[in-house]
Structure 1
């Protein structure tokens, strides 16, 4: 699982990509042709959500969900995906975040099958 690291990579996905949102998460995605068939992920959690401990907890949960799905080829390939957490996400547990992310990716047509 590769990650988006530079601000320019995030900005490219925001400007040229598509997006969908739920109450808890926002997903931006963009086809990436020059990316050797691996997806790249970026996770954004604003300071408005909470202190560093809370933000890192949310990021770790989302990363773990994406890692499992990426290992099982659950998500379509050659994509740059940015996930933004919204404030109400702090009240969710791992399984609720997983369910919300799954339904959001399904609405974006990013899930195989």
Structure 2
């Protein structure tokens, strides 16, 4: 599970990452990454799961899976980076492995872009 310092909690932070960050889309998720000037701060993650994904049970399942994926990939994300993951309707039927592959591909690609 993601500890409190690794979570985006303010709406302004979500908006800034989605609007100004680099984006990578897949069939199940869209990942936005925005590096910040505060490199001492831990990487933070936020999740957007709309009602188009499914009912509350399905949305919460998708959210829990995405949080677990991000907890596993935390070491691959540079300090001071904010990440927002938007779940698409196809994420409702995706397995944990499929979600992990989509998120990992996008995070690898976007963090490589940011650091170069």
Shorter chain as normaliser: what TM range?
0.7 to 0.9
Matches within 5 A, 1:27-106: 27-34=31-38, 36-70=40-74, 73-106=75-108
Q: TM-score, normalised by structure 1?
A: 0.87
1:35, distance to aligned residue in structure 2 (A): 5.7
- Unpaired runs of 5+ residues, structure 2, are none
1:16-49 deviations in whole A, cap 9, x for unaligned?
Answer: 2111101111011111123633101101100111
Q: Where does structure 1 differ by over 3 angstroms across 4 or more consecutive aligned residues? A: none
Give, in angstroms, the shift of residue 4 of structure 1. Answer: 0.8
More displaced 10-residue stretch of structure 1: 53-62 or 88-97: 88-97
In the alignment, which residue of structure 1 is the partner of 2:30?
A: 26
Q: Which of residues 4, 19, 24 is equivalent to 2:8? A: 4
Task: Give 5+ residue unaligned stretches, structure 1.
Answer: none
> What's the TM-score, normalizing by structure 2?
0.85
Supply the RMSD in Å over aligned alpha carbons: 1.9
